[in-house]
Chains A and B, each alone.
Chain A
C-alpha cells in the first residue's frame, strides 16, 4: 500500500515536471516560429529562402516530435484542470490512464497523417534518395 502510494506520487510528480518542461520547450518553439514566419514581410523570395532550410526530412521528423510535445501538454493540461475543479478526483488513476491513451492515440493519428501526406516526411525522404513518392 505504501509502495503504491509512493508510485502514485512519483507518477504525478513526473507528469508535473514534464508539463513544465514541455511548456518551456513550446515557448522556445513559439518564439522561434514567430521569428521564422516574420520573413513573410520580405516577400516571396525571402520567405521561400527561409523555408527551404526547413523543407527536409530532419525538420519534418522534428515537427512530428513537436506535435507529441504539444499533445502531451494538451492532454495533461486537461487532466490537471479536471483535478483542480474537483471532477473525478476519486478516479484520478483512470483519468491519468485515459490522458496517456488519448495522448498516444492522437499523436499516432496525426504522426501518421504527417508522415504519409504528399510533402510529408516519407515523400521528403524519397526525394532525398532520388525515389519517386512525390
Chain B
C-alpha cells in the first residue's frame, strides 16, 4: 500500500484525478508521439507542424494536453517531495516553487499555442 501516500495526506479526489489525468495522457501522448514521430515522414521543422498547429481543434487539444500534463507531473512531484520534506516552512517554499514553475510553464505554453497563426 505504499502507493497510497497521497490518500493519507487527505487527497482522495486528487488521487482519483491523478489516475484520470494519467489515462488521458496515455491516449493524447500516444497520438502525439505517433503523429510527430511516425506519420510525419520528414524532419520536424516549422513547415511540418505549422498548418496543423494553427487550427482551433489542435489548439484545443494541445492546450488541454499542456494543462493536464503539467498538473499530473507537478502534482506527482509534490507527492514525491512530501515523502522526504517534513519541515513546515520547507514544504511551503517547495510548494511555492512548484506552483511558480507550473504557472511559468503554463503561460509560456499558452503564449506559444494560442496566438499561433502558422505560415509566416
In the complex the two chains form, what is the Cα distance from A71 to B38 in whole Å? 16
In the complex, per-residue mask of B95-110: 1 if CB is within 8 Å of any chain A CB, else 0: 0000001000100110
In the complex, per-residue mask of A114-125: 1 if CB is within 8 Å of any chain B CB, else 0: 100111100010
**Contact of A23 with B111 in the complex, beta carbons under 8 Å:** no
B73 neighbours in A (Cβ, 8 Å): 23, 26-27, 30
> Is A101 in contact with chain B by the CB < 8 A criterion?
no
**Contact of B3 with A40 in the complex, beta carbons under 8 Å:** no
In the complex where A113-B37, A114-B37 touch, is A43 in contact with B120 (Cβ < 8 A)? yes
In the complex the two chains form, what is the Cα distance from A81 to B53 in whole Å? 33
Q: Output the nearest chain A residue to B29 by Cβ-Cβ distance.
A: A70
- A97 to chain B minimum Cβ distance, whole angstroms, is 19
A94 neighbours in B (Cβ, 8 Å): none
> Is B17 in contact with chain A by the CB < 8 A criterion?
no
> Is A38 in contact with chain B by the CB < 8 A criterion?
yes
**Contact of A47 with B46 in the complex, beta carbons under 8 Å:** yes
In the complex where A55-B44, A81-B19 touch, is A63 in contact with B37 (Cβ < 8 A)? yes
> Is B9 in contact with chain A by the CB < 8 A criterion?
no
**Contact of B120 with A34 in the complex, beta carbons under 8 Å:** no
**Contact of B70 with A30 in the complex, beta carbons under 8 Å:** yes
Q: Output the nearest chain A residue to B53 by Cβ-Cβ distance.
A: A40
B34 neighbours in A (Cβ, 8 Å): 110, 113
Among B45, B66, B76, point to the contact of A23 (Cβ < 8 A).
B76
Q: Output the nearest chain B residue to A114 by Cβ-Cβ distance.
A: B37
A119 neighbours in B (Cβ, 8 Å): 40-44
- B74 to chain A minimum Cβ distance, whole angstroms, is 7
**Contact of B111 with A38 in the complex, beta carbons under 8 Å:** yes
> Is A54 in contact with chain B by the CB < 8 A criterion?
yes
> Is A11 in contact with chain B by the CB < 8 A criterion?
no
In the complex the two chains form, what is the Cα distance from A103 to B47 in whole Å? 33
Among A34, A48, A118, point to the contact of B105 (Cβ < 8 A).
A34
Q: Output the nearest chain A residue to B115 by Cβ-Cβ distance.
A: A41
> Is B80 in contact with chain A by the CB < 8 A criterion?
yes
Closest 9 A-B residue pairs measured CB to CB?
Answer: A118-B41, A44-B46, A43-B120, A27-B73, A113-B38, A119-B42, A47-B46, A55-B43, A38-B112
Name 15 A/B residue pairs within 8 A (Cβ), A-sorted: A23-B76, A26-B73, A30-B69, A31-B101, A38-B108, A38-B111, A38-B112, A41-B112, A43-B46, A44-B46, A48-B46, A51-B45, A55-B43, A119-B40, A119-B44
